[in-house]
Structure 1
Amino acid sequence: MDNPFRYRLFYTVRQKIVTSVVVLALLAWGTVTVVQRVTKPEDRSCAPGVARPVGSEECVGVATAGDGYDFGESRLTLVADAIGRENAALKDGQYTTVALLLPLTSTSPGLREKVLNELHGAFAQQYRANRHNNETPKIRLVLANTGKDNLHWKTAVEQLKNMTGEPHHLRAVSGIATSSTEVRSAVGELTGKGIAVVGTTITADDIANGPGGQPFPGLARVSPTNGDEAQALTRLGPVDPEKTLMVHDTRTGDHYTDTLRKAFSQLLGRHAYEPRVFTSDTDPNAEGTTPLRFRRITQDLCIMPTETVFFAGRHTQLRQFINALGARGCKERKFLLLTGDEGSYLGTDPQLDRAALESGLTVQYAALAHPDAWRARPGYQPPKTGGSAEAYDAFVRALDDVTKEPAGPLGPTTLSDGQAIIAYDAMALAVQAIREATPDGEMIPPLKEVRDLWPDIKGSLKVEGASGWICLDNHGNPYNKAVPVVQLTRGGPRFVRMAWPEGQPPDDECVRMPRS
C-alpha cells in the first residue's frame, strides 16, 4: 500500500516551492564560499612585519614590534623573549633602534649555532648599555630574518629602510655575518639609504671601503679582513713558498673564499706548485662530491715536499679536507694547515674526524675572538695594548647578568667560536656611535651623524672590546685588530697565541694609522 504521507510531504505545490528555494539557497551559499576561498589571498603573515613568502614556509622580514617573536625557531625562543622584555621596558621617544640582520631560519647546523651565540652577545650588550651610568638614548633591539642562505634579504632590507622615522628611529643595523653576494647587496642597499651598518663576522676584503673607493658609505666592521687574517697568520713564523701548497674553492660568488684565496696568493708570491682546486656545491653547506676530490689531493701531498697548506674554502669543505688528510697514506709526514675564521665552525662539528688532528696534522685558523686570548696563564702573558683582560671580564659579567632572571634565562652560550664575543663588540660600536652622535639635550641622533662617526672611533673614542681594541681607520675598517690564532685539537679549539696584521700590537692611544 502506498504511504499516505508521500504526496502530502513531497509533492504538494507548497512543498515543491519550499524544497526548490532551500536547494537553490544551499547552492548559492556553496558557490559564494568556494569563490571567496579561491579569490581571497591566503593569509601568510607570521607576526607584525613578518610573513611567509610565496613558495616558502620560512617567516622572513623584520619583527617590528620587538616583542619577542622567535620566527618559529624554538632554539631562539628564550633570547627572543628576553629581548622582548627589555624592549617593553623602554619609553617612547627615549630610544633608538638597532636591528640584527641575520639568517635566523638557516638550516645549516654550524650557522644555526653561530646565529644563536650572536643573539646572546648582542643582547648582553643591549642590556648592559641600557643600565650603564643611565646613559641615553636607550637601545631597542629588533630581529630581522633574511632566511635560509640569505635568499630573502631584500624583504628585510626594504622594511629596515622605512624604519628610520617614528616610532622606531632605526639608527644602525648589525649582524651582517656572512661574506656572501646576498649580504654584500644588503649592505649596499642599507648604506645607500644612509643607514649605519656594523658588520660582525664579515671578513671579505671586497665588502669594505678603502682608499680606492667608498662603495658602502656608513659601513663599519669589527673583524679583520681576510687580508689581515692572512698577514697575521704568516707573522707566526716563516712560510717557505717552495714547501707550501694552496688549496682553494673555485665556486664563484663567494666573497669569503675569493678574497682569502687572493690574500694567500699575494703572500706566497711566486711559488713552486700550482694550487690544487675544488668546486663546492651551490649550497656550500652541502656535502656534494668534494670528498672524492680531497682524497686525490691528499695523494698528491704525499709525493710532494710540502709542509704547509693554505686552505681557502668554507667550513664544510674544510672539515672534509681534514678528514681526508687524516686518512692519508703517508701518516709519517707532518703538515701544517692554515686557514681563515671558518675554522671556528669545526669546534663542535660532530662529523669532524678528531683523530685526524693527532696524526701529524696541525690545523690552525685565524679566529675573530677567543675566551683565552686576554687571560694570562703559565707561559703566556697577553699583550699590554690592543685589548685587555678587564674588557673581556666586563663581557663575561654582562653575559652572566642576562643568563638569569630578571633579564634571562637564555640557555647555554658557546664562547669558543668567538661569535658571542664579536656580536657583543659590534653592538658596543653601534651604541657608542649612536650616543656620540646625539646632540646635547636631544634624545634621537640625526641619521647622518651616526653614519659619519666611524672615522672618529680611535684614540680616546676607541671601543675597548672583549675581542680587542676596535680602532677604525677613515674607511670604517678595524686597524691592526688582534687576531687570536686557534688550533683545532681532539679536545676542542685551543688558543695558541696572539698575532697582529702589522706584526706587533698598536700603540697606547691607537691613533697611528696609514694615511688614506
Structure 2
Amino acid sequence: MAARLWRWLREDVWEIRFRRYVALLLTAVVVAAAVWSGLVMTKEDRSCAPGVSRPRNSDDCVGVSTTAYDFGRAPFSATVRAIDRENRRLKPGSYVTVALFLPFTASAPASLNDIQHQLQGAYLAQYQANHDTTDQSPSIRLVLANPGADGAHWQTVVDRLAAMAKGPDTLRAVIGIGQSTDANKQAVGSLTRHGIPVIGTSITADDLANGQDGKDPYPGLARVSPTNTDEARALASFARVSGGQALLVFDKPGDPYTRTLQDSFQRLLTGSRIAPQSFAPPADRTLDGTTGNQFRQIASVVCDTPASMNTILFAGRHTQLRQFINALGDRGCTDRKLTVLTGDEGSYLTGDKKLNRDALTRNLALRYTSLAHPDAWKQQAPATGGGTADARALDDLIARGASQPVGPIGPTALEDGQLIIAYDGMRLAVQGLREATPTGRAVPPLTDVVNEWAYIKGSHRVNGASGWICLDGHGNPYDKAVAIVELTPSGGSRFVKLAWPEGKPPAKDCLPPA
C-alpha cells in the first residue's frame, strides 16, 4: 500500500512538474515570438520608400529614391513627379542612371530653396537630353540620393550607389553634392575611389577640387563652379581690393568652404593695417546660436577703423552673413559707406526672411560672387565666355515646364543661381556620358566617362547657361564667368557685372594654358 501511494505521488508530482515545464516553454516561445515580431515590425517601420529608410537612432529618410518619393518635402513634389514620369517612359537597356546627391531632408528654408532649384535644373536638363531631336543615346534616368540633412549618412548612400554602378541600374555619374562640407568631402572621396564620375554643381572649396599642388585626390571629379580662389580673383579684379582699404572677417575654425575663402581673401590683403576679426559659430552653421553678440562687437570695431577702410571681406556661411549684415545695420557709423564682399553663399540671403533689409538702406552694400544669374547674359554680351542664346534656351525650357509634357515643376526662381548651375551640371554629365559611349553600345564604361573630362574644352566645351564650361586637366572650369551680384533692400538681387578669374574672358578657342 505504501509503495503504491509513493508511486502515485511521484507520478503526480512529475506530471505537475512536466506541465509547469511545458507552460514555461510555451511562455518563452510566445515571448520570443512577440519580441521577434516586434523587431520585424520595427524594421519594416523604418522604411520610407523603395530604396529609402530611416537608420537606427535617426528619423532621417536616407538612401537612393527611384520612385516619385519627395522625402516629405512638399516643395519638391511637382518636380519629383515629373522626374518619375520621365523615368518610367524609358525602355530598359536604353538608358544610364545619373544620381542627384543632395541633402533632401534638410529643414532650413534657405537650404530647401537651394535644393528645390537644383532639382528643377537637373530635371530640365534630363528632359532636354531625352527629347533632343538629334536622337542621341543613351537616354538619362535621374534618381535622388539623400545622405541625410547634415550628410552624416553619406557612407550608406555611397555604398548603394556603388552597387548601382555594378548592376542593372547602370549608374554612370553622380551630380550635385551641395555645400563644401567635411561630410561631402568624404562622400566625394569614396565615390571617386569606386571609380564613379562625380560632377560638383555648387561646391567651390579649393580642397574639394583636384589640381591643388598638382595633386588629384578625387580622380573623376569635375566641377561646374569656380573654386573659391578663382571667385576671389574675379572679385578682386572687379572691386580692385587693396590691403589698406579692407578688413577680413572670418569663421573660426571654419569648414572647407569658409577656410579656403578665408585663405583666398588673405592673399588679397597683404599689408593690411588691421588684424582680421574672427567669429565662432555653432557647429551646425544653419543655426543662429549666440554669434549675433559677436557681430555687434565686430561692428563696433569696424566703426573704429580709419574712414578709408570701406570694404569688408566676409568668409562665412549664409546664416552668419545674415547676422553680420543685421549687426552692421545697427552700427554707430551709418554715415560711413561700407561694402561687404563675400562668396556665393550670399545668394541664400535673397530668400532669408530673418534678414533686416533696412540695413541695406544705411550706407551698406552687400555684393557677392554668384554661381550664375539670370541677367548675366542679357545686359552685356562679352565677345567670348558665354552667350545670350544659351541662357535663352534655358528660359524657354523653364516656360515649357509650367505644364505638361515637360512639367509642371512648381514655381521657379533663378536669382540664387542654383537652378541654372544644376542645369549646366547635368548638361556636362550628358555630354560626357554620350561622348564616352562606344559605337554600337548603349552604356559607356565608367573609366571612359572619367577620362572624358579631359576633352571638355575648345569645340567640345559645354555652352552653359552660366557661361562656357571648359575643363582643365584636373576637371576644374577654366576662367569661368563669375557674376557679381548685389542684394537689394526690396528682397531680390541686382546683377552688377561679369568678372573673370583671369581678369578678362577666355579666348575663343577656350583652351586652358599648360
8 Å CA contact retained: 1:340, 1:365 = yes
Distance 1:39 1:122 in 2: 39
Which position in structure 1 is the counterpart of 2:342?
Answer: 339
SS in structure 1 of the partner of residue 165 of structure 2: coil
| Match among 59, 68, 86 for residue 57 of structure 1 | 59
Which position in structure 1 is the counterpart of 2:238?
Answer: 236
- C-alpha deviations, 1:222-261, integer Å up to 9, x for none? 0011001111111114323112110000034x10000000
Which position in structure 1 is the counterpart of 2:214?
Answer: 212
1:67 lines up with 2:70 in the alignment: no
8 Å CA contact retained: 2:241, 2:268 = no
8 Å CA contact retained: 1:280, 1:288 = yes
SS in structure 1 of the partner of residue 509 of structure 2: coil
Identity rate, percent: 51
- C-alpha deviations, 1:319-352, integer Å up to 9, x for none? 0000000001111111111000000000011111
The code of the aligned residue for 2:105 comes to T
1:80 positional shift: 1.0
- C-alpha deviations, 1:429-466, integer Å up to 9, x for none? 00000000011111111110001111110001000000
The code of the aligned residue for 1:424 comes to Y
The code of the aligned residue for 1:90 comes to L
SS in structure 2 of the partner of residue 245 of structure 1: strand
1:202 positional shift: 0.2
8 Å CA contact retained: 1:332, 1:360 = yes
Which position in structure 2 is the counterpart of 1:431?
Answer: 430
Distance 2:155 2:401 in 1: 32
1:382 lines up with 2:381 in the alignment: yes
Distance 1:140 1:500 in 2: 34
Q: Calculate the aligned-residue CA RMSD, in Å.
A: 2.0
Gaps of 5+ in 2: 1-19
1:313 lines up with 2:312 in the alignment: no
Which position in structure 2 is the counterpart of 1:398?
Answer: 397
Which position in structure 2 is the counterpart of 1:17?
Answer: none
SS in structure 2 of the partner of residue 150 of structure 1: coil
Distance 1:490 1:466 in 2: 27
SS in structure 2 of the partner of residue 460 of structure 1: helix
SS in structure 2 of the partner of residue 403 of structure 1: coil
1:135 lines up with 2:139 in the alignment: no
8 Å CA contact retained: 1:67, 1:88 = no
| Match among 356, 359, 363 for residue 360 of structure 1 | 363
Distance 1:284 1:24 in 2: 56
1:75 positional shift: 2.0
1:279 positional shift: 0.7
SS in structure 2 of the partner of residue 424 of structure 1: helix
1:70 positional shift: 1.4
Gaps of 5+ in 1: 1-19
The code of the aligned residue for 1:47 comes to A
Distance 1:296 1:24 in 2: 71
Distance 2:67 2:364 in 1: 48
Alignment of 1:316-327 (within 5 A): 316-327=319-330
Distance 1:395 1:239 in 2: 34
Alignment of 1:97-176 (within 5 A): 97-132=97-132, 133-176=134-177
C-alpha change, 1:497 and 1:443, in structure 2 (3 Å) is same
1:25 positional shift: 12
SS in structure 1 of the partner of residue 192 of structure 2: helix
1:27 positional shift: 6.5
Which position in structure 2 is the counterpart of 1:200?
Answer: 201
The code of the aligned residue for 1:408 comes to G
C-alpha change, 1:25 and 1:220, in structure 2 (3 Å) is closer
- Give the structure-1-normalised TM-score: 0.92
Which position in structure 2 is the counterpart of 1:414?
Answer: 413
1:167 positional shift: 1.4
The code of the aligned residue for 1:446 comes to P
Distance 2:174 2:32 in 1: 47
Which position in structure 1 is the counterpart of 2:498?
Answer: 498
SS in structure 2 of the partner of residue 320 of structure 1: helix
The code of the aligned residue for 2:345 comes to E
Which position in structure 1 is the counterpart of 2:76?
Answer: 76
SS in structure 2 of the partner of residue 164 of structure 1: helix
1:42 positional shift: 2.5
8 Å CA contact retained: 2:50, 2:67 = no
The code of the aligned residue for 1:329 comes to G
Which position in structure 1 is the counterpart of 2:297?
Answer: 296
Which position in structure 2 is the counterpart of 1:263?
Answer: 264
8 Å CA contact retained: 2:424, 2:465 = yes
The code of the aligned residue for 2:175 comes to S
Distance 2:144 2:285 in 1: 25
8 Å CA contact retained: 2:244, 2:269 = no
Distance 1:259 1:292 in 2: 25
Distance 2:393 2:111 in 1: 26
SS in structure 2 of the partner of residue 479 of structure 1: coil
1:38 positional shift: 4.5
8 Å CA contact retained: 2:344, 2:371 = yes
- Give the structure-2-normalised TM-score: 0.92
